[in-house]
Structure formats: structure tokens, C-alpha cells
Chain A
Amino acid sequence: MSVSSAPVIDIRNLTKSFGKVRALDGLDLSVRPGEVHGFLGPNGAGKSTTIRILLGLIRAGGGHVELFGADPWRRAATLHGRLAYVAGDVALWPGLTGGQCIDVLGATHGAVNQARRRALIERFDLDPTKRIRDYSKGNRQKVALVAALAAEADLLVLDEPTSGLDPLMEQAFQRCVRERRDDGATVLLSSHLLDEVEALADRVSIVRHGRTVTTGSLAELRRHTRTSVHAVTVAAPDGLAGAEGVADWASTSRDGQVDVRFTVDAEHLDAVVGRLHAARIHTLTVTPPSLDALFLRNYADPVDAREPGETPAGATR
């Protein structure tokens, strides 16, 4: 495992056009060794196009792309020895069994950990003797995931990996990714599912219309958002409604108890909870700012005039 802090993925000002459609329009992405990096954006934002350029499958139109410090277009096959990839739209050979597919995919990865392969098949509850054509979509997804997670890879590139998985399997997937991260692997997790990224990612980059809108650690991103508080107290909390940092105030009285809801920014949370405590707390729910809030904030902006007229959705297919 690399101990240097040079980024595993270093993309700056990346562009790519398909005919007249501008799929990528100056995208930046930097993934550090050992982190799980969430790559967030709505459908057609350019996530899959970025990943294909990163894998050397398509050629960058302009800008700078480095994977493990090298050019992925020129050194594709060599670099791929250090990564494992799960495509967003998993396409496998219908005539092969699941186990055969895992081995065929595994053979193109650097090395396969056979013990982990066995354990993963068990954890994902997969029957490796069934043909791909007889699998459901979710089971096909599991085949690709087992192949990627069993590989001894320094980098996992996962493009919307849990589409088609049920919640139980999603849990299993998250545990597996954390284990790989704890082993020292780096993970690029592309998704439009906020809770998935929230559960796994150390840092996130949010892209829209082929451009990076924001990037940073979850803590950094959260610093600018507000925590929601819902409390039921015996007495009315004193002077809370007008306190510094409090907003969205709503209060009702019921059965001799007071029900309050409000939001508060991160630095004033401590003072607010103190006042609630003084009013004798009956129940208290504090919800940290979710990625949803971040996401909505970044996507609620009106589309600015420089945006390409066509959404690049069709171009990533």
C-alpha cells in the first residue's frame, strides 16, 4: 500500500464532448490514498464518462487526468492491475455461471483472494452455479461486486454499485467496503444515493452538468448547514425562540407538555441544548445535516447561462 499522500486519482479541468454534447465541462476530482470518496451527482452529470476516461476506455477531450500518477489512456492495462471496477450497468455473459463470471472477471484483475471470494459469495447469499441469464438484476450486480471486492486491488471504482440490491444486501455491501478501506484500499464510489455515500464516504465531490460543484470532507460540507432539533419539554424553554443561531422555530403546547421544532447552526448547538435541559427534556431528537440538505442546496440553484443546452444524459450511454 502506498504511504505517500500523492492523490490516487488526480483530475483537473477535464473536458469531453460527444459530437455537440459537452458531457464534461471542466471537472475536477482528487482522491487521496485510503479514503472512500463519494462521487455524487444526478443522472447524466458525467459520472460514468469520468470513470470511463479514468479507466482509459475513452480518451479525455482536454484537461489533466492521472491515475496512480500515470496517464490512464496510455497505460490502461498496467494500471488496471491495481484496481477493480464495477460498472453501473452490469453486463455479463448470459451463458456463464455466476462463479465462472467471477473467475473470468477476477482473471483480468491483479490477483484474486480466494478465501475472500468464498466468504463474499456466502455473505451475498449467491448461488455461483446458476447461469447469469437466470439471475435477477440484483444477483447479477452481486456477481460483479464479489469479483471486484475479492480482488487484491489498491483502488475500487464502483459506479452506482448498489442499484438492484435489497436493503439487507446493501448493508452487507457497506460492511465489505469498510473492510476493504480498513485494509488500506482506496474507493471511488459514484452514486446518486445520498444515504449510501453518507454511510461510507470520508470525502465527497458533487458534480453537475460535467463540472464539480463542491468538494470536501463531510464535516467541512456540514459546517455550512444546519442541525434539526425536535424536543418535547415539561416547561416552555426560556428565550430559545430568539436565541442566536436558531431559526425555523415552531412550538405547540399539548397535554401540559411543550413540543418545539427548530434548526440551529453547528456552533450554537451546545448553548441551545443547555436551554432545553433547563426546561426539563421529555424527548429529544437531534438530526445532523444530511447530504440531502447539501445536495438540495447545490442543485436548487437555477441553471446558469453557461450551461450546455442539452443535458449530457444521452452521451454517457
Chain B
Amino acid sequence: MSARNPRRPGLATMVGIVWRTRRRGILVWVIALAASMIGTAASIAGLYDTPAKIHGYAEAVTAGSALAAINGHVEGIDSLGGVIQDEFGFLASFLLPLLGIALVAGSTRREEETGRLETVLAGRIARHQPVLAALAVATAAILATSVLFAAGLALAGVPVAAAILYSAALGALAFAFAGVAALLAQLVLHGRGVYAGSLIVLAVAYALRGVGDTTAAGWLTWLSPLGWVEKAAPFADRRWWVLLLPVGTGLVAGGAALWRSARRDLGSALLRGGLGPGHATRLRRQPIGFAAWIHAPATLGWLAGGVLLTGMMGALARQLLGALAGNPGLAAAMGMSGARPLHGFVAGTQLYLAVIGTGYLIQAIGTLRAEEAGGRLETRLAGTLSRIRWLAAHAVVVAAGLAVIVVGSSLVLASTTAWSVGDTDEFGAIVRSGLAYLPAELVLGGVALALFGLWPRGVGLGWAAYAVATFIAFLGPGLKLAQWVLDLAPTTHVGNPPLGTAEPGGLAVLSLVAVALLLLGFVAFRRRDVPRT
């Protein structure tokens, strides 16, 4: 915190501005996150309603190290809270840091980048106050999420002290990343860079925690913010002091951000691009080449995510299979039972990869809307490029990007698995199972594209559909949701290959739906006004 009195009138005004301009997004984040966490906790409490069932789950999950790599090592897993922490481990590792990152990135560097901050700072607002206000609002939102979650856990039957500590640990995790994002916002030039940098920090944290939890180098876990949630051990020893680590990290990073913001020039950044070529290459003058340039950063980012995930999973394949061989209960708990445990493992990984591929599609189509909202689509269509060719060029590039992500990650999964288990028999089956998910991914991409054609302001709803489909795909079977609910997620109709057989009928229907949505998007886009507000 800076030495100045933070209670100057400017800060209250600035907090008001941040809240007024961002409240809808903040409320959606808080409510969606709290609701999904509370819903998961309640469902788990319903499923594991006897000590025997909880004990069975704990036995199964602790049998191998592969699951610990994904969900984390849970102390006190032989309790309702422990089961909840384990089940929620993977999603919480990403959602809570993202909460902190999104809340801060959107109200710091993005505002500066668009020039809105300049207008604000021309008023009675000190240079450091926008950062302080962004952090204050983010902290309040994180606290609200934690309180809601703690209440939900307590209602589900988790002891109150443990519920509070677990929620506080998750909130502190989000706060640490809010601080990191605030600091990055002072160093890079664009809101996009804040996200990219924060996600790299998150990926490193995840890898450190994964390696620390599964190897002899257990101290590595202590280096990871994600590890601190585990080390607080809310359902075992309850080490409250561990919360000091994430809170301290958030305060130090946030303080450094405040210090930087009070001293640096507006619009400046430590890391920025230099001069570039004075001419565009022949490729970039073509619609396809230009679309490829626009989508390249997102494609590379999601590809990196897919390769990281599949590489890690593949490398752990042997350990996981060893655990499965000695423990049918674990296989059942992971939904990986069946004649070929390796197939179950690959099927589980491919589902994660499908979520990555779908996320890429939704983001890419959101980029098209951003081009329109930014006025650049108008510039683009004022030339000889027709609407259909413009959209087709983007569709081709995005589809190719999806293929690169899915095929590339599947190849990594196949190679690392072959290396880990020592044979290449399943190489083809692993890659084919990745391809089988393409129609399901394209259905959600089609939803986003149809929205872009029909109701461009609603393109953001594509993310809502994505969140629902992801939730159902991951947690639906475990929570024993009704079949019609499960059927809402496109991935349900793929047939869970290679554990199950890819269903040609299901894939055909998914493909038809995807094509229909795609056509709808094209036709609607051809007929509508540009720009449409």
C-alpha cells in the first residue's frame, strides 16, 4: 500500500466507477462460481451419504499418483469435505485464479489501452487509485464468493471451521492471482498480455503442484499458489497460517503494482513491441492470410494448453495404469472401468481436450464480434471483399486451427503415452478418438457463429453454453444427473472413445447440427446490417 492516505475522496469515486462499469460481469462471475461450487458440494453430499461410501472413494482415489497430479493431493480425503475438495480440485485450480485475473485485468490495462483511463485520470483521481480500486472491488467480489461457498459447504454438512478454511483458502488463491494480474497490468501493454502472462503463471503453478504431489520433490508444492490450498489442509490439520502465503503474495504483488502505477507514464509498459515492416506480405493481404494472423495468438495459446495437458497425462499413463490394475474401485470412480484401462484413461483425457478445443472456437468467434464492435469489420468490408468470403476465410482458418489443436494434442498424447507404457499399439486409436470429438466441438462453435449472424450482441452467450456443456460433461455423470440433462452436452453423444465405441449415428447427427448452425450463421450474417449494435 502506498504511504498516502488511501481514504481520499478520489478512491471512493474510483471504486464507484469500477463497480458501475463492471458490476454485471462481476455479479455473473460471483453467482455462477458460487452456484456451481455449492451445487457440486450438495450433489456430492447426496451421493456420498455414508462413511462407508466416503471411505470407498478415499481408498480408490489415493491408490495412484496420477489422480493426485490432476486433482491435487487432498489431506483428510476420508471425509465429506475431502471428497468435495478432490472432486472440485481440477476446476477450482483454474476457475478461482481466473476469477482474480478477470476482475483485475478488465479494469486496469484494458481501460488504459482503450484510452478511457486517460479521461478518468484527468479528473480528481490519482494515478495509483484505479489499480487500488480494481483490487478493492476484486477483493470484495472474492470475499463474497468465499462467504457464499462457505455457507453452502456448511449447509451440505461440512464442519463449519473446515468449510470456512477451505473457502478462505480458495479465496486467498484468487486474491493472489488478482495481485499478480495487477502487477502484470503495469508491465505489459495490452489487456490480452495480462491474461496471457497470468495464465502462464497459472500453468507453472499447476505443473509445480502436480510434480510436487506425485514425486519425491514434495517441497515443489510449497512453491505453487495452488499447493497452498492443499497445504492449508482444511479437512485434516487445518493450518490457518498457510493462508498468509497467498494473502502475502497478493499484497506484495498488488503493492508493487500500486508503486509502479504511481510512478510510471500513462500508456507506458516495460514490455512492448518495436518497429515493424513497412509493407504487408503477400500472404497477409489475402483474406485467408489476414484471418490467420488475427487468430494466430489464440490458436497458439489453446494449442499450448492442449499440449501441456496431454503431455502431462501421457507421461503419467504408466503410473495411472499401475494403480488401476490393483484397484477396480479407482477405475470405477474415474469412470475408467472396462476391459482396457488404458482406453478409459485416454477417453478421460480426450474429454478435457474437447473442452480446450471448444473454448478455442468460442473465443475465435468472439474475436469476429470484436472486429465488428471495434469498427474494423466495416473497414474490411468497404473493399472488394464480400461478406461471405470474409466469413468463409475466418471459418476456414478457425476450423484449421481447431484441427491443429486437436490433432497436435492427440499426437502428443499418443506419443507420451507410448513412451510411458512402452508400446505403440494404441497410437492410432488415441489419435482417432481425438478426431471423434470434432463434431461435438463444432456444434458449440456453430452456436456461437449462429449468434454472430442473428444477434451479434449475444455472442457472449456462447461462453454460457460452453460453461453449461463443460459442467455437464465433467460433473454430470459423477453427480448422476438425469439423462436428458446429460444429453444437452454435445460430448455426451460422442460415445466416449476409445473406451466406448464412437457412435456413428451420434457423430452424424452432431455433424448435421453443426453444419446447420454454420449455414444459419452465414445466411443471417449475409442479410444483416454491419455494424449492428
A128 touches B285 (CB 8 A): no
Contact A129/B378 with A77-B386, A80-B383 known, Cβ cut-off 8 Å: no
- Tell me if A92 counts as interface (CB < 8 A to partner B): yes
In the assembled complex, the CB of B372 is this many whole angstroms from the nearest CB of chain A, namely 10
- Contact partners of B277 in chain A: CB under 8 A: 97, 99-100, 129
Interface assignment of A93: CB less than 8 Å from any CB of chain B? yes
Q: Mark A75-104, 1 if CB is under 8 A from B, else 0.
A: 011101100010101111111111111111
Complex alpha-carbon distance, A97 and B293, angstroms: 13
| Contact A104 B280, CB 8 Å, known A52-B378, A87-B375 | yes
Taking a contact as CB atoms under 8 Å apart, the answer to whether B278 and A105 are in contact is no
**Which A-chain residue is minimally distant from B374 (CB atoms)?**
A91
Query: Which listed residue (A52, A80, A93, A130) contacts B376, Cβ 8 A?
Result: A93
Is there a chain B Cβ closer than 8 Å to A59's Cβ? Answer: yes
Is A108 positioned at the interface, with any CB of B under 8 Å from its CB?
Answer: yes
Shortest Cβ distance from residue A315 to the other chain B in the assembled complex, whole angstroms: 9
Whole-angstrom CA separation of A105 from B531 in the bound complex: 18
Structural contact, B380 and A108, CB atoms closer than 8 A: yes
Cross-chain contact B375 with A57 (CB below 8 angstroms): no
A268 CB → nearest B CB, Å: 48
CB distance from B500 to the nearest CB of A (A): 44
Q: B144-168: contact bitstring with A at CB < 8 Å (1 yes, 0 no)?
A: 0000000000000000000000000
A55 at the B interface (CB under 8 A): yes
Q: Quick check: B533 and A92 within 8 Å, CB to CB?
A: no
B276 & A57 in contact (Cβ 8 Å cutoff): no
In the complex, which of the residues A85, A97, A100, A102 contacts B382, with contact meaning CB atoms closer than 8 Å? A85
Question: CA separation between A317 and B374, bound complex, in Å?
Answer: 11
Select from chain B the residue with minimum beta-carbon distance to A130: B275
Beta-carbon contact of B389 and A55 below 8 Å: no
Chain B, residue nearest A100 (CB): B280
- A175 — which chain B residues lie within 8 A by C-beta? none
Tell me the count of chain B residues lying within 8 A, CB to CB, of chain A.
33
Q: Using known A-B contacts A58-B529, A58-B530, A131-B276, determine if residue A105 contacts B379 with beta carbons closer than 8 Å.
A: yes
Beta-carbon contacts of A133-175 to B below 8 Å, as 1s and 0s?
1000000000010000000000001000000000000000000
Are the CB atoms of A99 and B280 closer together than 8 Å? yes
- B273 adjacent to chain A (CB < 8 Å): yes
| Known interface pairs A57-B529, A93-B376, A131-B273; A103-B382 also in contact (CB < 8 Å) | no
Given contacts A89-B375, A100-B284, contact A129 B276 (CB under 8 A): yes
Chain B 267-299 against A: per-residue CB contact (8 Å), 1 yes, 0 no?
Answer: 000000101111110001110001000100000
Closest to B380 in A: A108
B275 x A87 contact (CB < 8 A)? no
Q: How far is the CA of A76 from the CA of B384 in the complex (A)?
A: 8
Contacts of A58 in B (CB 8 A): 529-530
Chain A residues within 8 Å of B509, by CB: none
Residues of B within 8 A of A90 (CB): 375, 379
B529 touches A59 (CB 8 A): yes
A101 to B383: give the CA distance in the assembly, Å. Answer: 13
Whether B286 and A107, one on each chain, are in contact in the complex, defined by CB atoms closer than 8 angstroms, is yes
In the complex, chain B residues whose CB is within 8 Å of the CB of A133: 189
Give min CB distance, B378 to chain A, whole Å.
6
Contacts of B286 in A (CB 8 A): 107
Picked from A81, A96, A129, the residue with its CB within 8 Å of the CB of B275 is A129
CB closest chain-B residue, reference A317: B533
Q: Does B381 contact A (CB under 8 A)?
A: yes
Supposing A99-B280, A129-B277, A131-B276 touch, asked if A78 and B382 sit within 8 A by C-beta, the answer is no
Query: Known contacts A57-B530, A103-B285, A107-B285; is A97 also within 8 Å of B378 by CB?
Result: no
Complex Cα distance, B386 from A78, in Å, reads: 8
Q: In the complex the two chains form, what is the Cα distance from A87 to B531 in whole Å?
A: 13
B140 at the interface (CB under 8 A from A): no
Chain B residue with the shortest CB-CB distance to A114: B279
Of B189, B374, B527, B529, most buried by chain A (CB within 10 Å of CB) is B529
Q: Are A108 and B278 within 8 A (Cβ)?
A: no
Contact across chains for B382 and A87 when beta carbons are under 8 A apart: yes
Residues of B within 8 A of A317 (CB): 533
- Give the docked Cα–Cα distance between A58 and B385 (Å): 15
Q: A76 and B276: CB pair below 8 A?
A: no
Please indicate the chain B residues that have their CB under 8 angstroms from the CB of A52 in the complex. Answer: 378, 529-530
Cα of A100 to Cα of B276 in the assembled complex, Å: 9
In the bound complex, CA of A3 to CA of B531 (Å): 35
Distance A144 CA – B379 CA, assembled complex (angstroms): 9
A56, B387: Cα distance in complex, Å? 10
Q: How far is the CB of A314 from chain B (nearest CB, A)?
A: 9
B356-379: CB near A (< 8 Å → 1, else 0) gives 000000000000000000111011
Residues of chain A with a CB closer than 8 A to B280's CB:
96, 99-104, 107
A109 touches B (CB below 8 Å): yes
**Residues in A neighbouring B389, C-beta threshold 8 A:** 77
Which chain A residues numbered 243 to 282 have a C-beta less than 8 Å away from chain B? none
Tell me how far the C-beta of B184 lies from the nearest C-beta in chain A, rounded to whole angstroms. Answer: 18
Question: Is the beta-carbon distance between B285 and A104 smaller than 8 angstroms?
Answer: yes
A42 part of interface (Cβ distance < 8 Å): no
Closest chain A CB from B292 CB (angstroms): 13
Are A78 and B276 interface neighbours, CB within 8 A? Answer: no
> A99-B279, A100-B284 known; A92 and B385 CB under 8 Å?
no
Give the distance in Å from the alpha carbon of A52 to the alpha carbon of B372 in the complex.
14
Contact across chains for B375 and A77 when beta carbons are under 8 A apart:
no
Q: Which of A78, A105, A107, A128 has the most CB of B within 10 A?
A: A107
**Chain B residues near A216 (CB-CB < 8 A):** none
Q: Are B285 and A57 in contact (CB under 8 A)?
A: no
- A97 with B379: CB separation less than 8 A: no
Q: Who on chain A is nearest to B189 by CB?
A: A133
Q: Does A7 contact B (CB under 8 A)?
A: no
Q: Tell me the nearest residue of chain B to A59, going by C-beta.
A: B529
Closest residue of chain A to B372 (Cβ to Cβ) is A91
Which residues of chain B are within 8 angstroms of A95 by Cβ–Cβ distance?
273
- Cα of A57 to Cα of B277 in the assembled complex, Å: 31
Chain B, range 156-214, C-beta contacts under 8 Å to A: 189-190
CB nearest neighbor in A for B381: A57
Contacts of A81 in B (CB 8 A): 384
In the complex, the answer to whether A87 meets B378 with C-beta atoms within 8 Å is yes
Of chain B, the residue at the smallest CB distance from A151 is B383
Residues of A within 8 A of B375 (CB): 87, 89-91
Q: Is the C-beta of A308 less than 8 angstroms from some C-beta in chain B?
A: no
Instruction: Kindly list chain B residues whose C-beta atoms are within 8 Å of the C-beta of A99.
Output: 277-280
Task: Tell yes or no: A184 within 8 A of B by CB.
Answer: no
Which residues of chain B are near A107, meaning CB under 8 Å? Answer: 280, 285-286, 383
Residues of the B chain whose Cβ atoms lie less than 8 Å from the Cβ of A102: 280
Q: How far is the CA of A106 from the CA of B382 in the complex (A)?
A: 11
Q: Does A110 contact B (CB under 8 A)?
A: yes
**Interface members, chain B 497-533 (any A CB < 8 Å):** 527, 529-531, 533
Q: Which B-chain residue is minimally distant from A126 (CB atoms)?
A: B278
User: Which residues from chain A contact B189 at a C-beta distance below 8 Å?
Assistant: 133
Q: How far is the CB of B180 from chain A (nearest CB, A)?
A: 24
> Complex: how many Å from CA A100 to CA B529?
28
A100 to chain B, nearest CB (A): 4
CB neighbours (8 Å) of B530 from chain A are 52, 57-58
B383 contacts which chain A residues (CB < 8 A)? 77, 80, 85, 105, 107-109
Query: Which are the 3 A-B pairs with shortest beta-carbon distances?
Result: A108-B383, A91-B375, A103-B280
Binding site for A on B (CB under 8 A): 189-190, 273, 275-280, 284-286, 290, 294, 374-376, 378-387, 389, 527, 529-531, 533
Q: List 8 A-B contacts (CB under 8 A).
A: A55-B381, A57-B378, A90-B375, A92-B379, A100-B278, A104-B284, A105-B379, A108-B385
Name 9 extra pairs, CB < 8 A, besides A55-B382, A157-B382. A55-B381, A57-B529, A59-B527, A85-B382, A87-B379, A89-B375, A91-B379, A100-B284, A103-B285
